[in-house]
Amino acid sequence: MNAFSANVEEITPEKAAEYLAANHNNRKIREKAVAPLLADIQTGNWRLTGESIKFDQSNRLIDGQHRLTAIERSGQTVPLLVVRGVGTETQTVIDTGLKRTGADALEMEGRGHEATLRAAVAAIGLTDDAGKFNLSNSKLLPATHSQIIEWVKNNNLNDAIVWGGRVHRTLRGSKSSIVYAFYKISQVDLQSAKDFFDAIADLNTGGPGDPKHTLVNKLNKSRDYFKGSGYRARYVYHFLKAWEADYLGQDLRLIRDTIRDRPLDMPDLSRYMKGEVITGADAEA
């Protein structure tokens, strides 16, 4: 029987580096695992939970390298549960359980059956808020559970889920991207967003040149194109480009998201909030 000891320690960056030096036969550091932990520390969202870092009977670190790496990089001191005396043989079964997702966190917050969708939309919103959702092929930033919960609390997605859901039943594809596109457009003009999405959901579009017609044709004929890295950004990009042209009363016969394989800038809708609307140019891009 192993004699465990467990104590909460204040882990400084220096102490984290010291513990990492005792790292024993662990997996390669995964930056995607470090990033959300680092974000929680830097934003003050780090919480002391039952999760611990673990040392074996020979005082070698066998679990917790990502948390310690985040602390070392943060330059801040945070509390952490430290367990010592764990059998070395247990390293092969540590962290093999199913990880909780952002959706799981929202479920526990009482967010209901739409938690998975809300979490996916929040991941896009957090990337956008960080200024990293600015190209037609932008990848999403990793998000912590606390960031997802906070974003959902601060952003009302109810209308976006209703109207985005209607369009998704017509076009399929990335539901989170469709919902986020509605949310983004609704920040400029809620009624315009509802009218635009209603027309698409009902396939109430004009002929060639009508931005809604162009969008529906693009998404229905090119579903395989909207896969792989950055596909959520491509979906949002197409909705924003089509809505922008429709809002300005412009023809739109083609929506490109790259030119010579170079991704294009995401439409900046903020200028319409400021009244800086310029009409008359062909919106084809």
Give the pLDDT confidence of 133-164 residue by residue, as tens digits.
999 999 998 888 888 888 998 999 999 999 99
Question: Does residue 59 sit in the same domain as residue 154?
Answer: no
Q: What is the mean pLDDT of residues 64-85?
A: 91
| Residue 195: predicted pLDDT | 97
Question: Does residue 180 sit in the same domain as residue 252?
Answer: yes
In a domain, 282, yes or no: no
Nearest one of 212, 133, 131, 222 to 176, comparing CA atoms: 133
Full domain range(s) for residue 161: 102-273
Question: Does residue 183 sit in the same domain as residue 238?
Answer: yes
Which residue among 73, 92, 111 closes a domain?
Answer: 92
Tally Cβ neighbours within 10 Å of residue 271. 13
Which residue among 45, 66, 92 closes a domain?
Answer: 92
Question: Does residue 140 sit in the same domain as residue 189?
Answer: yes
Question: Does residue 199 sit in the same domain as residue 168?
Answer: yes
In a domain, 177, yes or no: yes
Question: Does residue 125 sit in the same domain as residue 264?
Answer: yes
Max mean pLDDT among 4-13, 86-95, 101-110, 187-196 falls in 187-196
The domain tally of the chain equals 2
User: In whole numbers, what is the pLDDT of the chain averaged over residues?
Assistant: 84
In a domain, 153, yes or no: yes
| Residue 77: predicted pLDDT | 93
Residue 92: is its pLDDT beyond 80?
no
Question: Does residue 188 sit in the same domain as residue 155?
Answer: yes
pTM of the model: 0.65
